[in-house]
Amino acid sequence: MSSDEQVVSTSTKFDLDLEFTLDENDICRNYISYATSRFDNTTILTMAKRWTMMMETIFNNDNNHDLDLRTLSLVLPEEINLYTWVNQNAIQDFGQPMSVADAILQNAEKYSDKTAVVFENQKLSYSQLVKRAGFVAKTMTEKGIQKGDVVIQCIDRSLHMIIGMVAIQLVGAVYCAVHPEDPVERIKHVVYNVNAKCVLSLSNVEIEFPVHLLQLDKLQSECEWVSEQKTNPEDPCYLITTSGSTGKPKTLAISHGSYFNLCQGVQTSDLALQATDVQLLPLQGWTFWT
């Protein structure tokens, strides 16, 4: 089926179905049936392009009986052109990576009175943000939290969320996010699975956590605080947690250096990517410090 040949049906037997037919001229025609609730048109058209390209490679090969299927490429010509352009033009040296905490403190010193975070009708300057986070970080260390410990944050999008993120990094701890509306069983599994030492949340989150709980809406003082322990670029910065749709949620650690390079790449990209266009994993809000 050509990419512009489409037939609309009211129902489909399977979510995705590929059908082959031979017409009276022995021409092979392929039809893709799909559930529009599962796939959008762009995805299916791209899939059709990849399939067509693969079939053309097979049938245009004089020695197709000896063709190794593992050599077939699913990368479209326009994608090859993009990859080539990126490799030739978009590689940049961002210098020596630094920890998230060092980057935040560096910009807080440079842009002390400038706005760092805005949420609805609320905002914080860099100086206010670092001081609010400093008080939370100081409180965490008094609870025994130190560099390398995993701290869970269970907070919806708000200024408190950013303050908690920064506080965790000032301590040198490892950030891991769960959403307050996640099933309680999933939240507790993540807490146990990552061996979390502390949870940052708010007083309106009615979940009993099996570790130290700090409610950020009750910690609104300010102080200047810097950890005595140096965080290095190779140290873990945060943990990505999978949805757990195929079983128990799993986690993957990302280093400070890797995240630093990612943010620098997005901010300086010639592809003109905006922070709102790119999901920087669970930490897209952190682009304020780059």
Question: What ranges in the chain are assigned the alpha helix state H?
Answer: 41-59, 77-89, 100-110, 126-142, 159-171, 184-193, 256-268
In a domain, 7, yes or no: no
CATH, residue 126: 3.40.50.12780
| Closest to 147 measured CA to CA, from 168, 129, 163, 177 | 168
Pair 190, 280 in one domain: yes
Instruction: Give the closest residue to 196 by CA, choosing from 206, 185, 204, 188.
Output: 188
| Whether residue 187 is found in the same domain as residue 206 | yes
State which residues form the domain around 35.
16-89
- The answer to whether residue 125 scores a pLDDT higher than 50 is yes
How is 63-80 classified by DSSP, letter by letter? TGGG--GGG-----HHHH
Question: Number of structural domains, the chain?
Answer: 2
Q: Give the mean model confidence (pLDDT) for residues 261-281.
A: 53
Residues 79, 160 within the same domain: no
Asked if residue 268 belongs to a domain, the reply is: yes
Q: Give the tokens for residue 54.
A: 């693969």
Q: Give φ, ψ of 150 to 5 degrees.
A: -90, 130
- Spatial CA neighbour of 225 closest among 143, 288, 274, 167: 167
58 and 178 within one domain: no
Q: What is the pTM of this model?
A: 0.63
So what's the pLDDT on residue 236? 92
Note the pLDDT tens digit of each residue in 202-246. 999 888 888 889 999 898 888 887 777 888 889 999 998 877 666
Indicate if 179 and 74 belong to the same structural domain: no
pLDDT at 286: 43
Q: Which residue among 36, 67, 89 closes a domain? A: 89
Same domain, 78 and 112: no
Looking at the structure, tell me whether residues 109 and 251 fall in a common domain: yes
Mean pLDDT within 155-173: 92
pLDDT band at 276 (very low <50, low <70, confident <90, very high): very low
Among 54, 89, 124, identify where a domain stops. 89
Q: Is residue 11 part of a domain?
A: no
* pLDDT confidence of residue 28: 77
Examine the domain organization and report whether 53 and 114 are in the same domain: no
**What dihedral do alpha carbons 198, 202, 208, 209 form, nearest 10°?**
-10
> What's the rounded Cα separation, in Å, for the pair 13 and 35?
9
Q: How far apart are CA 19 and CA 13, in angstroms?
A: 12
Residue 76 included in any domain? yes
DSSP 251-270: EEEEEHHHHHHHHHHHHH-T
Residues 116 and 83 in one domain: no
Q: Are strands 122-125 and 115-119 parallel, antiparallel or unpaired?
A: antiparallel
Q: Are residues 213 and 135 in the same domain?
A: yes
Residues 47, 127 within the same domain: no
Amino acid 128: pLDDT: 93
Asked whether residue 127 is assigned to any structural domain, the reply reads yes
Residue 206: inside a domain: yes
State pLDDT tens for residues 55-110.
Answer: 888 877 776 567 777 788 888 988 888 888 777 765 666 677 888 888 888 888 88
Computed from CA positions of residues 223, 228, 231, 236, in that sequence, does the dihedral angle turn out positive or negative? negative
Average pLDDT of the chain is 81
Q: With CA atoms as reference, report the closest residue to 149 among 192, 210, 198.
A: 198
The pLDDT confidence band at residue 284, using thresholds 50, 70 and 90, is very low
Out of 89, 119, 152, a domain closes at 89
Domain co-membership, 192 together with 280: yes
Residue 273 has pLDDT above 50, yes or no: no
Asked if the model's pLDDT at residue 24 lies above 60, the reply is: yes
